[in-house]
A and B are shown apart, each in its own frame.
Chain A
Amino acid sequence: DAGVIQSPRHEVTEMGQEVTLRCKPISGHDYLFWYRQTMMRGLELLIYFNNNVPIDDSGMPEDRFSAKMPNASFSTLKIQPSEPRDSAVYFCASQGWGGETQYFGPGTRLLVL
């Protein structure tokens, strides 16, 4: 299995631009999680899905952030408009039903100038 796949691996954009991060979970996994990692705040859960349905989005920082999961093999995290304080590493993780282990992707390193 290829594991969790994220793209792009690196993104540099200017303030005000729209950013879209993509994730392909491990095939057969029912849960998908989006995290943000910064030096100041550590690892934060933004949102998670179960069977493509958002279950808890209480970690989404504000309305500029949105996430979708149109099918079991694809999810996006969108920031519009982006701001410099959104600069971070964004991780996607997936988990199988009945399991407790989350499998993380390699992350997308976002820099907003």
Chain B
Amino acid sequence: GNSVTQMEGPVTLSEEAFLTINCTYTATGYPSLFWYVQYPGEGLQLLLKATKADDKGSNKGFEATYRKETTSFHLEKGSVQVSDSAVYFCALTTIYGNKLVFGAGTILRVKS
């Protein structure tokens, strides 16, 4: 079946540090891949997405590349800020593009 595995958190970094949150997936066919972010007390919002192999999604300094050969979609940011503290969810869509399958989420804490 379809599944997403994320690195466990929490991840604690100092401001301006480099961020990587690992995400791997198992899927039938060629899913689209997403990163959603959830700030405290809010709903999830789309951070970035990629719809086919080798695509790179990017937004707000975050990037992730769709790697079919390693079935991965790792999230990276070169210099994190305190305001990036949130929970990050990796997700994929099934072949029909309706149901999202989420990873468990990774808590990111950035200290000033």
Contact = CB atoms under 8 A, between A and B. Distances in A.
B61 to A, nearest CB: 20
Contacts of B49: 100-101
Interface string A13-53: 00000000000000000010100000000110100101000
Nearest to A92: B43
Interface string A77-103: 000000000000001010100001111
Contacts of B97: 100
A100 B51 contact: yes
Given A43-B105, A100-B49, A100-B51, A4 B43 contact: yes
Nearest to B32: A100
B17 interface: no
Contacts, number: 45
B32 to A, nearest CB: 5
B104 to A, nearest CB: 5
Q: How large is the interface on B (under 10, 10 to 19, 20 to 34, 35 or more residues)?
A: 10 to 19
Interface residues of A, number: 21
Contacts of B41: 106
A79 to B, nearest CB: 20
A95 B43 contact: no
A4 to B, nearest CB: 7
Contacts of A104: 43-45
B60 interface: no
B99 A48 contact: yes
A91 B41 CA distance: 12
Contacts of B93: 100
A93 B46 CA distance: 12
B98 A31 contact: yes
Given A105-B43, A106-B43, A56 B102 contact: no
Contact of A101 (B46, B89, B102): B46
Interface of A: 4, 31, 33, 42-43, 45, 48, 50, 55-56, 91, 93, 95, 100-107
What 5 A-B pairs come out closest when comparing CB atoms? A104-B43, A104-B44, A43-B102, A42-B104, A106-B43
